[in-house]
A = this chain, B = another copy of it.
Amino acid sequence: MGNTFGQLFRVTTFGESHGGGIGVVIDGCPPKIEISETDLQRELNRRRPGQSKITTQRKEEDRCEILSGVFEGKTLGTPIGILVRNKDARPEDYAEIADKFRPSHADFTYVAKYGIRNWQGGGRASARETIGRVAAGAVAKKILSILYSDFEVVAYVAQIHGVIANVNRSAVKMKDVETNAVRCPDAAAARKMESLIEQIRGEGDSVGGVIECVIRGIPPGLGEPVFDKLEADLAKAMLSLPATKAFEIGSGLAATRMRGSEHNDPFETRGGKIRTATNNSGGVQGGISNGEDIYFRVAFKPAATIAREQRTVTSSQLRTKLAARGRHDPCVLPRAVPIVEAMAALVLCDHALRQKAIGLSVDRSEASSDEIRRRGRS
């Protein structure tokens, strides 16, 4: 259980780091969306290992194959099956630790839960699992772009350890993010981050940081009251990513030191639309989008795999030591940027379809759909 995400745009992933491959099934994709393996590959390449000198040097091509659901370049409305074969696996890197519980990894908890462990790598807990999310996210982005002409999701590294970027959240574009290997749009900070990551790698250690994400062009009305609030689903989406420790929407933790009179976002009329003068809400009020930019921050811990020797125990409760031999990321954030975007797109696409389900009937009752659309979108 727990391998499916979404209510209407339903994404089910499968696969371990070692074995036949990693895949995803997307159920509920609307028909006649143009989608190709090239579209998916573009996003998968941003996630791929070995893409720059600051990521792991494992050579994984991560070539995807669309198995079903697309015909003559268009979605059929039927489930889209996508498969990426596993390659360049070196189980021998792991043989030594087959019986050891790596600190802050999922080795121990998987054994506790299932009584069995695929010791050839991270198994299902490996970040390779996110391949399916990124592929599905590429489809979700496409749908959102069709539904909302101004739709845009931009994630970027905002902090690595003590280095904090200075980014204009309202203006930053994906091309600004992709200018450097760290995926930080502040060039000066990016250089510092890159040096820091190289240094940390040299020390056999790892660092964490913060990814910020801004979503533009979402009309008012997405998100469900009560349990499936938009920020609740975003929080779940982000905390379901490996290595994440915190989620902040809008003002986030800073809100705890503000007064209501400072924090409230006054409504005003701008460009003929109802807008808020400030955006501490982060684009969501009462769990529902209000038409402003949606933005949030995700905290990542330093990667658990480090070259330094650490103490731990074996499954027989014997004290032991271990040091990672594999080729690992000293900092997961640069490669996590497209993953954060993908999860954000999955959440929004699901809520967009959910809103469509209740939305058409309105225009058959008294309120015209035009009015709704006017309020909602324009």
Contact = CB atoms under 8 A, between A and B. Distances in A.
A202 interface: no
A353 B371 CA distance: 21
A239 interface: yes
Interface in A56-105: 65-69, 71, 74, 76-81, 83, 101, 103-105
B235 A247 contact: yes
Interface stretch (A44-52, A169-177, A182-190, A278-286): A278-286
Interface string A351-378: 0011111111111111101011101110
Contacts of A178: none
Interface string A1-24: 111110110101111100111110
Interface string A254-285: 01111111111111110010101000111011
A37 B106 CA distance: 28
Contact of A20 (B81, B245, B276): B81
A115 to B, nearest CB: 5
A231 interface: yes
Contact of A33 (B129, B299, B312, B365): B365
A193 interface: no
Given A115-B32, A220-B109, A260-B303, A80 B14 contact: yes
A78 B225 contact: yes
Contact of A30 (B69, B226, B267, B358): B358
A238 interface: yes
Contact of A317 (B74, B269, B356): B269
Contact of A287 (B14, B106, B258, B286): B106
Interface residues of A, number: 172
B290 A112 contact: yes
A123 interface: yes
A206 interface: yes
28 contacts: A1-B357, A4-B227, A5-B227, A14-B67, A21-B68, A31-B114, A32-B367, A74-B116, A76-B123, A101-B274, A103-B264, A104-B285, A109-B287, A113-B221, A125-B286, A143-B361, A161-B257, A162-B257, A205-B261, A207-B260, A208-B258, A229-B239, A235-B236, A235-B247, A236-B239, A246-B246, A260-B303, A272-B317
A89 to B, nearest CB: 13
